[in-house]
Every structure is written in C-alpha cells, then in structure tokens.
Structure 1
Amino acid sequence: MSLRFSLMGPVRAWRDDEEIDLGPRQQRAVLAALLLNNGIRLANDQLIGMVWDDPTPSAVMALRTYTYKLRKLMPELDLKAKDGGYLLRAEVFDDCRDEPFVGLTSTYFEAQRVRVANERLQCREILLEREMDVLDLQKHVAAHPLRERSRALLMRALYREGRQAEALEQFHEVRALLNDELGLEPGPDLREVHAQILRGELTVQRRPEQLPPDIDDFTGRATEIEQALRALPRTVGIAGMHGSGKTALAVRIGHLAGDRFPDGQIFVRGNDVANELLRAVGVENPAGDKAALWREKARGKRFLVVVDDLRDPASVRDLHVPGSAMVLTSVRRWNELPGVTWLKIAGLAEPEAREFLGKVLDPARIAAEPQHADDVLAHVSYMPNPIRVLGGKLSSRPSWTIAMLLRQMRRENLFGQAVPSDCQAVLSSMSKAYQELTEDERHLLACFARRDTEVINVCEAAEMSGGEIGAIEVLLESIADVHLIEPLELGRYRVPKFVRMYFGLNLAVLTS
C-alpha cells in the first residue's frame, strides 16, 4: 500500500485508491505545512506559527494531538518527532488546476498561495517562451496585462512574424498601463526589446533542443534520479563502467528536468566541449577564450548541458554558469572537478533487472523459466545493455528456451575467435573497457577470472599474479576507478560476475 497527497484544492490523502478522511481543518493545516516543507525539520514554534496566526499556550498540546492523530490515521506515514520539532517525508501529486490549500486561512498559507500562483505564472511563461505562439501569448497578456516578461515575449513573437508595428504597439500599451496603475516605467528588459526592434537588431536566439529521445522502456534508477533532480542546477556527474546505462540515465534526467531550463538543452560528446556549446547557441568558428565566450553567452540564461563520456575534466572546468546545469557521464569519477554531485551506477537492482527483461522479452517466457532467467541476469551482473541484447536475441528465437541461451553463454566455445554478432554486442562494453586497460591490469583481471574469485584482497592478488604487493595495490585502485572491481574496504575488492566471465577464458575475443 502507498500514500499520496494533494495540496491543490482541499488538502487530501489517499491510500492506494481509497481517500482518507484527514479530520478537522487545523489538523489538515498541520499536515499541509509539513508537506510544503517535505524533508525539512520544522521546530514546534515554526509549525505553530504556520498554522495559527495568534496561537494560545494550548497550541503546543494541540500540535501534539494533531500529529498523533495523523500517525493513527496513517501508520505508514514517515512522520518523525525530532529535536523539538517534526520531519515528514512523503510524495505529493498535484495537477496545478485548482486553487491550493482551500479552507486554510492563516497568514502563512495566504503567502504560500501567492507564491504558488507566481510559480504557476512563471512555469506558464516558460512554456510560452518555448512555443512562441502569438495567439497563446495574446491570451496570456490579456489575462495578466502588467507582466513585463510576457509582453516582451509577445513583442518578440510578433516581430518574428513580420508584425513590427503591432510589436511596438504592445510596448506603448504596457507603458501606459504601468504609468496609470503603478506610476512606473517599463523595466530594462522590456525597454531593450523595444530598442532592438526600433534599431532592427532584434534576433530570436536559437533554442537548442539536442537531447536524444528518452528510452520508452527505461527502468529503475529512481534513487539516482531523485538525487540528480534535487542537486540541479549544480553539476551532476554519473560514473560507472561501460554498459551500465550512464547515457540513458543522463538523458532521462535531462527530459525530466527540461522545463526548469527554458533556454534549451545541449548534448555534447567530444573533447572540445566549449566549442560545441557555442555552436549550439549559434556561434560558428569561435576564436579566443571559448570558455569565457560561453559564459558571456549563457549569462542570465538557463541551459541544461549533458556532456557524455567525459574524458578530460579540464574541458568542462571553466564552463559553469549560475542558473544553468550540467550533467556529466564518465567511466571515471573526476574528483578534481569542484562542486559536482557524483552518482555511481552499476547493474540494476535484481527486481529492476527482471522488470527490464520483461519489457524486452515476452513476460510469459520469463514466468515459465524464472530461475533460468535469474541466472542469465546474474551472469551479466544485471547490466542493462547486455540484458537488452540477450532479451532481443531470445525474442528473435521463439523456439528457444531461456535454458538454451544459458547453456550457450556457459559454453567455452562462445569465447573462441568466431563470435556471433549478437554475442559481440553483449561483449561490446567489456571490449571498450579492455582497450583502456594496461597490460598489467588485463593480466590481473585474467588471474581473478580464471580462479572465478568473487572477493579478493591485495595479498591474494599479489600471490596469484606474481606481483609485488605495493604495485598490485596501485593496479587494484586503478581498476576500481573504472568500476571493473568494487572496493569493499581497504585492501578488499569484489569482482563482478560479468567481468570474471568475459575476462576469464579468452581475452582475445575482446579485441576481435
């Protein structure tokens, strides 16, 4: 069973599809204040001040009573008493169509209503800026005639359609309204749009939309997505071995966060990141300090930049612009980059891997051989790319059982020189990893794989490889940096089954 809440309209809660009676108005007000500050501890006096404008001494006892009753109504509610206050973690689902906090009348909720209304207008204007539809902008301006941003957008849209006189008329109209009703002159942004139209210099800046399409069957990574969305617009880094789905995760995050960055989304894969960013906003053949030029172009704007497969941290070091966000993907975690929230990913969680396989392969075939399906997933360490390839192979062979695929995967001749194309696709991530390793690192991984050892320590690694402990320790850390082994504690590492399997029998296949 799961709880969900809504703050639009009256404060409401549901357990699955059944609505919960939340009790009297002040009890709902306590819940609403906690939901509005989701994940933040509120001291008792803070919470009381939000619910009651003129609290009496009995408010403390009333607060305790209401929180007790809320816990009794919803035993699964994550509501904690902590350090003289309360902390609530919950999921709120709203469609933004109704007036918020209906029936709650304190000064705090009135202020929150104003805040939400302003945020709604800002979100609406972000969408209008993206579409630049004259009719929609005219309707919005008619509903909110004093909002200068929407006037500037309408002026730009009219000018783009060749309706220069109408664009200038919009400026004179809003100027008269501001003078008559507020005694103000138009702000600098609106005046600049007006001046650019008069000079014939107004250009509608290119809005890059470069994100690759989202993947329909994307599965899992809910925790990582939540962490990334919470961290943005600070830079987010995604590190993991080849084949772990870093790019797919970055693209999913980009699509989920896209509306927060109305000036566009840019996707870069390559070493000259600054050059690609400038090209995306219309600067061709830039010269001089490209990073400085990008910061100048992006100042005051909100871009979302995805840099895929980062190889050189220096290429992004000086590109941060306040308000814009950057998502990096890399095999290595570049700790020398400041201000990056790093996420590490590997294989999917086992239930998510099964769910993903069920999206690629007929679930009835999985249900007929659940143990064999689990064995296939374990063989590839629950990595999404190999799962997709193997599931596709089985889909193309309706007469095969999963047990047949498993037998083929276990046969040593799979690793001979003649590797079927579908098996090469499974091996592709390991092939990339192999190419980036030194000979000593390859030898060490082969030693682990031949012993089929899941957990290894430095001394055992030195013994089986014939190397010195100091040198082996450096090699182990280097291999861990590219996620082919997982550090457990100082001097101990776990070797994933997928790595043991494909580095063990015949390394030559990885370069074929």
Structure 2
Amino acid sequence: MRFGVLGPVLVDGVEVAAPRQRALLAMLALDAGRIVGHDQLIGGLYSSPPAGAANALQSQVSRLRRTVPGLVIEHHPAGYRLVAAPAEVDVLLCLELLGAGRGAEALRLWRGPALADVDAPFVDEARRRLTEVFIKCALSGGTQNDLRGLVSEHPLREDVRAALMRSLYRDGRQTEALEVFAEGRALLAEELGVDPSPDLAAAHLEVLRAEAPHRGVPAQLTSFVGRDEDLRRVAKWLQDNRLVTLIGPGGTGKTRLAVEVAHREPGEVAFVDLTATADVARALLDGVGAREAGLLSAGPASDPVSVEERLRAALTAREVVLVVDNCEHVIDEAARVLGGVLSACPDVRVLATSREPLGITGETLSPVTALDDEAAVQLFRDRAQAVKPGFTADQDVIAEVCRRLDGIALAIELAAARVRSLPIGEITARLDDRFRLLSRGSRTAAPRHRTLHAVVEWSWDLLTDAERDLAARFTVFSGGADLAAVTDITGSDVDTLTSLADKSLVEVADDRYRMLDTIRAFCAGHAPDLRERHARWFLTLAQETEPHLRAHEQVRWIERLAADHHNLVAAVAWATGNSVELALELVAALATYYWFRGLRTEAAQQADAVLHACGETPPAGREQEYALCLLLAWPVAAGDQTARIRQADSLLGLMREPPRYPIMTMMWGMALGAPEAESQMWHRRNRLLGTDPWSAALALVGDGLVARMQGDVVRGQDFLRAGAVAFEQVGDRWGAALALNQLGELVLSQGDAAGALACVERARGLLAELGSTEDTAEVVTGQAQARLAAGDLDGARADFDLALGLARRAGALVVQAGAHLGLAELARLTGEYVAARAHCDQAWELTPGGWYGPDEMRCHIAMERGRIARDAGDLDEARACLDDALRRALRQRNRVTENAVRAELAALAGP
C-alpha cells in the first residue's frame, strides 16, 4: 500500500472519508514503522478526550481497518504501529530523497499543503514540521516559481530569499535579484530590527559581481517551453564536464536549449554559430572577441595554424564557456579545433550542438529528443496564442497533432503558426502532406529552419551515398526494428546503420532502431520498394515464433512480436492488397499471438479483409489458412455469418490430421459451440486435436466446458482443474487463465465465493504477465462477481468499474457488456431499479450480433431483466424476459443456464 500525507491524506490514491479515521491514519503514517503511544494518539485526535478514551481509540482503529481493506495496524502495549516501508509513505520517501541530494524528486511528491484535509489537535504542529521539509525540498530542487511562492509565504526566511536571488541571477535577471534583496533588507529592519544574515549578504555580493559578458548569445523573442529538466541536467553536466554536446535530429530544439543554458551561466560565455562557415577556428576567434583584444599580431591572417594559435592564446588564461552551435556540417574540423582548445586551455568549457557526436575524448552526450505530450501541447498553445490571441482547442486534438509531428519542436511551432489562417481540424487533416503544410516559417530564421522540408533536407545532404541508401530503405519499417531485421531486409551493414544513428537519422532505444515519421516521410521519396521482402521476413519470424507462444518462454516471445506489432500490421496490409497467399499465411501464423495478447478484434478485421481479397474460394494449397481466417473473421464479418462457419466446417472436414496451428481447433470449437457427445462434430474435434501437450491441455478444458454446459458440475470442475494444471505445466499462461476463469465461474455457481475468488485472482496474475488487457478485464469481471456473491458490494463495484475501464481501453465490447451486466445486478440488489435497467440496456447495445457467444450474453441479460422486473413488482414483464432467456439458453444447448432460467420461472409461478 502507498500512503500520502503531502496533500490530502490518501491510501493507494483514495481518500478516507471519515474525518477522525483520516486524522488517525495521518498520525500513524507520519511515524510509519514506529509505535505511536496511546496518549499521543488520543491527544492528537481529541481536544477534550472522552470518557473511556482508550476504548474510543481502539474503536477508531477497528473502523479504520474495516474502511481500508488490507491495512495492517499492529497493537502493542505501548500503542499502535502502522506496518509500512518508508518507500510506501510519501513523507518518509521525501526525507530519504532529500538525504540523497535528490531534491527535485522529493519536491514532486508534494500534491499541495500537507495534511490538507485533516482537522485535529495534532495537525498544527505537524504542518509546521512538514513545512520545513517542503522548504528544504524547494531549496534543494525547486524551480524559481517554487521559491517565489515560499518568499511570499515566509518573507523573513533569509535562506529562501537567498536561494531565489541566486536563481534569478543564474537566469540573467540581475536587477530582479537585487530587488528581492532590497525588499528583504527593508522587511528585516522593519519587522526584526536586524541586518541581513551572512548568507543573504553573500548572495547579494555574488549578484553585484555578476558582470561577465555573454558575448553573442542571441536574445529570444518567445518563451522557453517544455525542457526544464533538460535545462537543469545540461547546466549541471556543464559544471562537471568540459565538453557537453547536445545531439538530436534537426528541429528538436538543440539550439534553443543551448541558448537557455548560456543565458543562465554566471561567468563569461561566447556563442558561435557555425551554420554559414567552413572556417571553424576563425569563427571561434571572432566569437570570443579576440580581434577586439588586439591579438592579430601572432601571424598572417591567412594562415590557419596561426588562427588556431591566436585562438588558443586568447583563451589560455580565460574562464569561459564556448557555446558552439551547428557543428554537423563541419564535424571533423570542429572536433579538431575544439579538441586543441580543450587541451591547451584548462579553464575553457564547451557546449556544442550537433546532429552527431564530435568524437572527442571526454565528451558528454546529451540527446535532445522529442517533447513529451504535455510539453508539446504547452508549446503548441503558447505559439498558437501568440499568432491568434484567445486561441482554444481540445487538448486531445492538439496532442494528436503534436504526436503526428513526432514531438519535434520546430514542426510544432510551424504547425501552431498556421492556426492564424487554418482551423486546427484542417491542420490535422493535412498532416499527411506535412512538408507542404509546414512550408512557412519565420523570415528571420536561418533558411534551413524556415520550413520542415529544409530542416530534414539539411540532414539528408550531409549523408554519404551509403547512408542515404539505407535511410531510404529503412522507411519500409513501421515502428522501428531490431538489428537483424534491418540488416536482413535492407541488405545494409551494421557500420552504416550505426552511422545513421550517430547522425540522428534513426534513434536507438532498447536495442531497436526507429526513424521519426517526419524523417521517414522525407526519406520515403527516395526509397526502393522492399515491402514484399519485409512481409516475407516477418512471416518467417511469425512462423518460427508460434510454437514458443505455447511454451514456458511464452512471455519473452510475445514481447518479441509485440515490439514488431506495427511491422506485422503493415506486412498483412501490404500482402492483402498484393499477394493473398502471403496474406493468408501471415494471418494464420499470427492468430495465436493476437489471441494471447487479447487483440481479437484486430485479428478479426485483418482476416476479414484478407477473405474479401481472396473471394469465395481459397487459393490452392491454402485451404487450412483460409479456414482459419474464416474462424477469425466470423465475429466481424458482414452478410451470412452462418454460411461462413459452414464453409470453415466443410474445409476442416477435409483435414485428416491436426492443423499446423493448434489454436485453430480451439477457435473452431468456439465458433460451432459445444458438440453433442458422440456426434460427428465430437469425433472430428478429437481427430483435429494434436498429440502435443498443449493440445492435450486444450482437450481437457474443452471437455470441462462441455460437461459444464451439460450440467455435470463435478466432471466440469475436474476437467477444468486438470486443464489448468496441464497448461501451467506446458507454460501457457493464457490457457491456464482461461481454464481458471471458467473454473471460477463453475465454483461460484455452487456457492463457493472464496474458491471462485482464488481461481480468478490466480488467472489475473497469469494474464498480467502477458499484458492482455481484454482477457484481464474479463477476469476482473469474474472477480467482481465473486465479491458480489460474498457480500462485498463496495469491492464488487470497484472491480466492475475497473473491468469496464480496461474493456473500453481494449475495445472489447462483450467484456464491457459483462461489466454492465454485473453493475445491473449490483444495482438491483441495492434497490436501484432504474439504474439496473439502464445497465442492462447498455449491456444489450454493447453485445455485438456476431461475436463468439453473443446469444449466451443476451440470455443472461434477459434473465437479469426478468429478475429486475420481478423485484420491482412487474411480474408480467419478468415472465416475458425469462421466456426470452429460456429460448436463448435452449439454442445454446447450455443446460446450466437453462436450469437457472427454469428455476427463476418456477419461482415466479409460485407454489
């Protein structure tokens, strides 16, 4: 559990409603892990302790335990102790971070005034102590705004005022820093009759002495947005290292970040832009003002060696920061000249910007990457409001524009500038042709920064022929690729790929290479068509991976395919329009992956598109893959779905051995429903089951489901329990979770809520390893049903709401319907019949006509509607709903549901 007192009091993000319990929890959390005495707790809770205060305290502790399930409060002879690690209590974690010098992280734990919602005798003293902690956080890692706020609240705190002065002075705002000092000195004299402390006086002296020039650092006309953390990090690195290079693609904001760092440097700074020169040494000599110092006598002006010697002579005795911007087009020369300066001039530090590293020993690299969503949206709003005062737009729309522009600062600024003449909806719609849309920039900017095309073209022109060829070929990938995929599909070599990474044309993260969409859009115009090669490579990967998805290494291989999900989607899409045989093979090979990840709707849509491309007849030799596509696509297929299932069944009837992909047998069983014992379908199912351990586990689960539907509870439990064990032995978490979830439902039907809860909790743990949101949502619904049966209405409601949120995120309509159905039952039990009917209506609307088992879901909805009508006193409506439920149960051949409906009807009829 996680406890919060730095703001409103929270437990795992949830407030405690009762004021006195909240105060009690706060006192225990402040001293978590230590015994808090009875007298201290009583005195902290009550201004005038009641008679029997010890019993009252014990009662409050008991209520708190009930209010917060899982809360562990130990009783000792001397008092009570909250069992929690320091990292689980925000104030204790805050103190640990402060002790480790991580003030910025500590400050982020504060959510507002400490103990904001607590009103008890202990709170004033506690808040005073916590205020001191907050001040230490702000002094250690706070922003200028944090310090201003503290000065307003504590005008006589000289340490806070000194920190604000130093922050303003580092920001180049010397006059404001002096004003802060003057105001403090006057207050100290007026309120306390004293002079400033030595610390405040020392800060004043530092500001007065801040006269070092910032030569050539350009003034900025717009606000600095979104890189405060980068700013702090680079400034610190520049204090600790003599060469820091900001690297990243064009337009990400390297120059602007370097300028902001330069403005905050307290000493001498020289800013040198290398964009328009090939003579690095002379540009640096001009930038540091050496000619103004009369150093031209060291040799002939035309002699490069003499220019470099004059440069080093000018800097030997100076403590200066050289900000050298745009090194990429003269990278070798810049590295050589700057390397010589750093070697000869011990007090010189260099902050460089480049699209690739300088490659000098001791260089510290600071990648300048895309802005995160929050910063990108803030930047867009700021620049849009500058050109169109009063501009407003939906946050999600702006975020979508920024994401599609890869979070590239320049691209976002160019897009924001267009809001003066285009609605943001039009801007969004035109982003597919982003280079044309973003073709107007500031007339005062360097030519390569006036349009998005110019930014990328600058990088392209600096590449070698081999690098350009690979950059163009790389555009075949969607969402990036690993080293093997890149080298195999593009036919390039590792050295060229790493060179592209060094030049910021591709990014590297987690051993994968990725190209920003903006760069991809430019490079794609130079690319050969490698899409078939790409699709066949990923088909081989999918085929080789599929057996591993049903084994102990399942999670690792699912993650492997998940990393390439966008490539797999692109491969299927291309093959669907160009090679139906390849498309069929891809969809079939990926079926297991899609199902185990809970991406069934996406798989169904892909399969349906492939079937439309194929027509009514499978290509020769691809009958099995075609049948699997029929089974996958059935839930979303338009037209005669029954005919499709009959066609799949017919194709499966021609098979004399188990399918290549065992998941096909499972899907066939789901599509056709439970077979009658000893029927032709029963024998065909057994014939299509393989002899491998996974198929044997599947057979056990299938037998358990059939037994359950036939009303044989004991055999159903035995088969499902054995199936779960068999799947776990194989290593398939998904299969084991399927069996456990079904077992939980069966156990719950026998009134064993605790046993059901144990089953579904185990299933949920297995699915968490797979990251299958849809299946997790379904299991959480089962967990809610178990809590409801156990009488835990609050826990059930929380789980139903969680399941509904997860199902919405996954786009799982039937699971959403199940959650609404559960909420309907909960509302009925609490007498909220209008809400119960509304939840049933929502469940009915969300149950798609074609998904696996929709009639079974609608059967349960109809039965719940009948129960609601019965409890509300409308017996005619109840009977009509239950009759509808019975008809659906009979069609499903589900005797358990049928018996449940008949029992409801019998009860309705009376004795």
TM-score range, shorter chain: 0.5 to 0.7
Map of 2:418 onto structure 1: 393
Deviations 1:438-497 (A, max 9, x none): 33333333333244x1120122223432x1xxx43222211111122221234x212222
Q: Of 267, 288, 291, which residue of structure 2 is paired with 1:260? A: 267
Closer, same or farther in 2 for the Cα pair 1:301/1:75, shift >3 Å?
closer
Residues 505 and 408 of structure 1: is their aligned pair in 2 closer, same or farther, counting only changes over 3 Å? farther
Closer, same or farther in 2 for the Cα pair 1:350/1:366, shift >3 Å? farther
Of 192, 196, 209, 1:125 maps to 209
Contact kept, 8 Å, 2:414 with 2:438, in 1: the verdict is no
Find out whether 1:378 has 2:400 as its counterpart: no
Aligned residue type for 1:430: V
Considering only aligned residues, what root-mean-square deviation do their CA atoms show, in Å?
Answer: 4.0
Q: What per-residue deviation string (whole Å, max 9, x for no partner) do you get for residues 259-281 of structure 1?
A: 322xx534242444433343322
Give 1:124 deviation, angstroms.
1.3
How much does 1:314 deviate?
Answer: 0.7
Q: 1:373/1:292 Cα in 2 relative to 1: closer, same or farther (>3 Å)? A: same
| 1:209-220 equivalence runs, <5 A | 209-220=215-226
> Which residue of the partner structure matches residue 297 of structure 1?
314
**Whole-angstrom CA distance in 1 between matches of 2:466 and 2:399:** 33
- Tell me how far apart the structure 1 counterparts of residues 255 and 271 of structure 2 sit (CA, whole Å): 14
Match of 1:351 in 2: 374
SS at match of 1:441: helix
Q: What is the CA–CA distance in structure 1 between the aligned matches of 2:438 and 2:131, rounded to whole Å?
A: 59
Q: Which structure has the highest helix share of the two?
A: 2
Check 1:295–1:436 CA distance in 2 against 1; reply closer, same or farther (3 A cut): closer
Distance 2:424 2:454 in 1: 22
Q: Please state if 1:246 is matched with 2:254.
A: yes
2:877 aligned partner: none
Structure 2 residue aligned with 1:441 = 467
- 1:225-275 deviations in whole A, cap 9, x for unaligned? 112222335332211111111111111111121x322xx534242444433
CA separation of 1:254/1:72 partners in 2, compared to 1, >3 Å: closer, same or farther? Answer: closer
1:481 partner amino acid: D
- Secondary structure in structure 1 of the residue aligned to 2:456: helix
Q: Is residue 429 from structure 1 mapped to residue 429 from structure 2 by the alignment?
A: no
CA contact (8 A) 1:214 1:255 kept: no
What are the superposed Cα offsets for residues 183-222 of structure 1, whole Å, 9 maximum, x if unpaired? xxxxxxxxxxxxxxxxxxxxxxxx6731122242221211
Deviation of residue 433 (structure 1)? 1.5
SS at match of 2:339: coil
How many Å separate the matches in 2 of 1:366 and 1:75?
A: 40
**Contact 1:71/1:77 (<8 A) preserved:** no
Name 2:494's counterpart in structure 1.
Answer: 473
> SS state of the match for residue 323, structure 2?
strand
Match for 2:518: what amino acid? F
- Matches of 1:221 and 1:360 in 2, distance apart? 16
TM-score w.r.t. structure 2 length?
A: 0.33
Correspondence 1:57-206 to 2 at 5 A: 72-73=130-131, 89-90=141-142, 92-94=163-165, 95-97=180-182, 98=184, 114=198, 117-118=201-202, 120-127=204-211
Judge conservation of contact 1:268–1:305 (CA < 8 Å) in 2: no
User: Percent identity between the aligned chains?
Assistant: 18
User: Would you say 1:275 and 2:293 are equivalent positions?
Assistant: no
Report the Cα distance in structure 1 between the residues aligned to 2:381 and 2:464, rounded to whole angstroms: 38
Amino acid at match of 1:255: H
The alpha-carbon distance between structure 1 residues 402 and 71, as it changes in their structure 2 partners (threshold 3 A), is same
Question: Is 2:354 aligned against 1:330?
Answer: yes
Shift in CA distance, 299/450, structure 1 to aligned 2, threshold 3 Å? closer
Structure 2: where are the runs of 5+ without partners? 8-96, 102-124, 144-162, 166-179, 190-194, 300-304, 442-449, 529-911
Alpha-carbon deviations, 1:272-320, whole Å to 9, x = none? 4433343322234753544443343334433332111122311201213
* Letter in structure 1 aligned against 2:510: E
Q: Determine the C-alpha separation between the residues in 2 that align with 1:343 and 1:405.
A: 32
Match of 2:613 in 1: none
Aligned 8 A contact 2:482 2:513 in 1: yes
CA contact (8 A) 1:241 1:484 kept: yes
> Could you say what secondary structure the match of 1:93 adopts?
helix
Q: Tell me which amino acid in the other structure corresponds to 1:393.
A: R
1:317 aligns with 2:339: yes
- Please say if 1:503 is aligned against 2:523: yes
Q: Does 1:486 align with 2:507?
A: yes
Contact 1:369 1:402 in 2 (8 A): no
Contact 2:296–2:310 (8 Å) recurs in 1 = no
Q: Deviations over 1:350-408 (max 9, x none)?
A: 1111111112213888743443322221122111111111211232x1xx322212222
Q: Is the 8 A contact 1:238 1:345 kept in 2?
A: yes
1:227 pairs, out of 230, 233, 257, with 233
Equivalent pair of 1:378/1:497 in contact (CA under 8 Å): no
Residues 408-427 of structure 1 mapped to structure 2, 5 A cutoff: 408-411=430-433, 421-422=439-440, 425-427=451-453
- Structure 2 distance, partners of 1:373, 1:449, is 26
Q: Distance in 2 between matches of 1:260 and 1:121?
A: 15
TM-score (norm 1): 0.57
Shift of the 331–358 alpha-carbon distance from structure 1 to 2, 3 Å rule, reads same
Q: CA deviation at 1:89?
A: 4.7
For the pair shown, the structure with the greater C-alpha radius of gyration is 2
Q: In structure 2, the residue corresponding to 1:325 is in which secondary structure? A: strand
Matches of 1:286 and 1:268, distance apart in 2: 24
In structure 2, how many angstroms separate the alpha carbons of the residues matched to 1:41 and 1:126? Answer: 31
- 1:422 counterpart letter in structure 2: R
Q: Structure 2 vs 1, CA of residues 502 and 265 (structure 1 numbering), >3 Å: closer, same or farther?
A: same
Q: Which has the higher contact order (CA 8 A, sep 6+)?
A: 1
SS at match of 2:219: coil
Return closer, same or farther for 1:460/1:292 CA change in 2, 3 Å cut-off: same
How far off its partner does 1:501 sit?
Answer: 2.8
State the AA in 2 paired with 1:343.
S
Query: Is the alpha carbon distance of 1:268 and 1:495 closer, same or farther for their aligned partners in structure 2, counting shifts above 3 Å?
Result: closer
Aligned to 2:690: none
Judging by fraction of residues, say which structure has more strand.
Answer: 1
Q: Distance in 1 between matches of 2:284 and 2:322?
A: 8
CA distance in 2, matches of 1:330, 1:90: 30
Counterpart-to-counterpart distance in 2, 1:357 and 1:344: 22
Cα separation, 2, equivalents of 1:208 and 1:364: 33
Q: Is the 8 A contact 1:243 1:386 kept in 2?
A: yes
Decide whether the 8 Å contact of 1:238 with 1:328 is kept in 2: yes
In the TM superposition, residue 332 of structure 1 has moved relative to its aligned partner by: 0.7
Q: Return closer, same or farther for 1:474/1:366 CA change in 2, 3 Å cut-off.
A: farther
Q: Deviations over 1:319-371 (max 9, x none)?
A: 13344432111111223242x33211022121111111112213888743443
Q: Does 1:464 align with 2:489?
A: yes
Distance 1:462 1:274 in 2: 39
2:246·2:351 contact (CA, 8 Å) conserved in 1? yes
